[in-house]
Amino acid sequence: MASHSTDRRVVITGLGVVTPLGHQLDTFWNNLIAGQCGIDRITAFDATPFDTQIAGQVKEFDLAPAFPSPKEIRRTDRYSQFGIYAAWSALQDSGLELDKENRDEIGVILGSGIGGLATTIEQHKILLDRGPGRLSPFMIPMLISNMASGLFSMYNNLRGPNFATCSACATANHAIGEAWRAIKMGDAQVMFAGGAEAAIVSVGIGGFCAMRAMSTRNTDPQHASRPFDKDRDGFVMGEGAGVIVLEELEHAKKRGAKIYCELAGYGNTADAYHLTSPAPDGEGAARCMRMALRTGGLNREDISYINAHGTSTPQGDACETQAIKTVFGDHARKLAVSSTKGATGHMLGAAGAVEMTACALALKNGVVPPTINYQTPDPECDLDYVPNTARELKVNAIINNSFGFGGHNASIAAKKFVG
């Protein structure tokens, strides 16, 4: 039974995002391919004392449609709000009808790299100022990283597989990959999968500043994140969420669902090397991409486009470039490779799902998003990064990469849907 179930095909039928480029799918995509940038000076708090004073913030919008009541919104951390809204948007986009008969077969894997950091800070201040008796009874449910996944299932009575991944910046790709596995193995017919993050708070920015991981190009926020550019000086933090609807093919066809693409393979490896630095020459990332190709039944020549992790850090971008060359050999020169983090900032645990959304739309629309702010070539980064301008391209299959602190690697392979 189990071996037969692995023959099940999995397609993407719904997309939902909350990003610095917008929270409606069309707005996000149009801004992305137009080369717009959502990075600006931080307004969430006074960032003047910090080495980095810029980020990709989500502008305020109406959360109400995704929640049962205003009270429920107040009882959730900002990261959960983003995740639940993105999942609700993906549900709307999918056209999936929820009824009593199918809810046991629908699951949710929605993770976060950091969880409710704003709640942690607020409640810690209350503890110090007013004592333990004034802490909120909702503090723990608000801050834990699994609650966006749990709440979305509760709001919609979805009783299939439900948990959260937490693997730093690989979180959302791991969620998507594990959701793919759940459907392949027959544990669910439909899965909502992705990640959410809201770490643009004083401790979040301060912690990454202390690591000297972020750009300090504060006077030019729009050009601060510049993946693969010779003058890159660190990543810029973003916030938001991405959720995709994965569905077993026959289930999708039976209800007449629109299909963006087919999710074909998943790679998942560890560097086992260093807290924050990638393994030399991107060795772990290379193994991860190879696994995604193998599990997807794809040859390296099948891949047209790679959405790179591409964070705009000196070491990370060079290692990923080397990993791509190691895996793809001569074909690496024929690949379109781009990073969308110049536009959105690095959305940490949400990044992989937002970038998978871009990949699904690239497969559907035959357009790949650009790497913006690419001005000065780096001899160590010598591939085709689709500089500054989106490109019309016949996209047959893609790889979407996400790599996280702790040596976590996750790659997703997807291909154009052919019935």
Residues annotated as catalytic are 169, 309, 346
CA distance from start to end of the chain: 24
Question: Angle CA(229)–CA(313)–CA(227) in degrees, nearest 5?
Answer: 35
Residue 395 amino acid letter: V
- How far CA 257 is from CA of 6, 12, 57, 193, 413, in Å, comes to 22, 10, 33, 18, 21
Closest CA relative to residue 369, chosen from 350, 381, 356, 380: 356
Determine phi and psi for 358, rounding to 5 degrees.
-60, -40
Closest CA relative to residue 224, chosen from 213, 239, 212, 236: 236
From CA 271, how far away is CA 284, in angstroms rounded? 5
């037969």: which residue's tokens? 4
Is residue 22 classed as helix, strand or coil in its secondary structure? Answer: strand
